[in-house]
């Protein structure tokens, strides 16, 4: 039995040693994998940083300046082309509507009258067309408005009109303020004596002459006294 136990114990020791070796190998492998993973992350980070630095270094100040100049030059060319295109289109429309300019060198009075009459008729036709177009636009706007109203009625949406807010006490307050202003104005007036501001000319006008001092019969009395003195 002792020999069997020794063999069994030796086998267990070998098994435990093999298990420990396997665990140690797995642990070493795991650590190596982690180290490799960290190295890969560091390498990737360094590559990204180097790429960023390379991108930043690509656009130097001189290249930026040249790029700005090229963009400005291109924009100026495009703007010039756009202006030329608009001018050509405008000239084309004017030629279509007004026609080519007439040669007036050596034209007599009849020719001038004919040219003026032609231009007048052309302007009259344009005005009539303009009036027709404006009336057509007004009619279409009215129809669009009516259709919008019908659609809103069908949907049950009523557009509330904007109303002006008016206070019902405004007229009363205005009347009261007016009366108060009149009352204050009357109270602020000062009583003035008429004699203080009376002029000397007015005094002379108020004094009656001698013939009118006695009233309506004074003139006859003065005549009677004069005849008595003569007698």
Name the residue ranges covered by the structural domains of the chain: 1-58
Q: Whole-angstrom Cα distance, residue 35 to residue 14? A: 31
Confidence of residue 11 (pLDDT cuts 50, 70, 90): low
User: What is residue 177's predicted lDDT score, i.e. its pLDDT?
Assistant: 75
User: What is residue 1's predicted lDDT score, i.e. its pLDDT?
Assistant: 45
pLDDT in tens, 33-91: 888 888 888 888 888 877 776 555 567 788 888 999 999 999 999 999 999 999 999 98
pLDDT in tens, 110-169: 888 888 898 888 889 889 999 999 999 999 999 999 998 888 877 776 666 677 776 666
Confidence of residue 170 (pLDDT cuts 50, 70, 90): low
Q: Select the more confidently predicted residue: 14 or 228.
A: 14
pLDDT at 28 over 70: yes
Q: Whole-angstrom Cα distance, residue 20 to residue 26? A: 10
pLDDT at 224 over 70: no
Q: Whole-angstrom Cα distance, residue 152 to residue 95? A: 47
Whole-prediction pTM value?
Answer: 0.31
User: What is residue 199's predicted lDDT score, i.e. its pLDDT?
Assistant: 55
Nearest to 194 by CA among 204, 203, 184: 203
Alpha-carbon separation of residue 149 from 5, 138, 158, 163 (angstroms): 108, 17, 9, 19
What tokens appear for 217 in the block? 């019969």
């Amino acid at each position: 039995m002792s020999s069997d136990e020794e063999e069994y114990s030796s086998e267990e020791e070998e098994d435990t040693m093999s298990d420990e070796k396997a665990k140690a190998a797995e642990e070493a492998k795991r650590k190596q994998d982690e180290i490799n993973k960290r190295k890969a992350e560091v390498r990737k980070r360094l590559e990204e940083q180097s790429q960023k630095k390379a991108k930043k270094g690509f656009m130097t100040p001189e290249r930026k300046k040249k790029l700005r100049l090229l963009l400005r030059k291109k924009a100026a060319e495009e703007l010039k082309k756009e202006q030329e295109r608009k001018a050509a289109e405008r000239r084309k429309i004017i030629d279509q509507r007004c026609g080519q300019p007439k040669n007036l060198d050596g034209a007599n009075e009849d020719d001038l009258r004919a040219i003026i009459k032609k231009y007048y008729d052309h302007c009259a036709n344009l005005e009539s067309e303009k009036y027709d177009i404006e009336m057509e636009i007004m009619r279409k706007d009215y129809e669009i408005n009516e259709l919008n109203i019908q659609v809103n009625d069908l949907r049950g949406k009523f557009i509330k009109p904007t109303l002006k807010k008016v206070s019902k006490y405004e007229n009363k307050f205005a009347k009261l303020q007016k009366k108060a202003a009149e009352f204050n104005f009357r109270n602020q007036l000062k009583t003035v004596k008429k004699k203080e501001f009376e002029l000397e000319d007015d005094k002379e006008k108020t004094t009656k002459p001698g013939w009118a001092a006695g009233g309506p019969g004074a003139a006859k009395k003065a005549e009677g006294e004069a005849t008595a003195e003569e007698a």
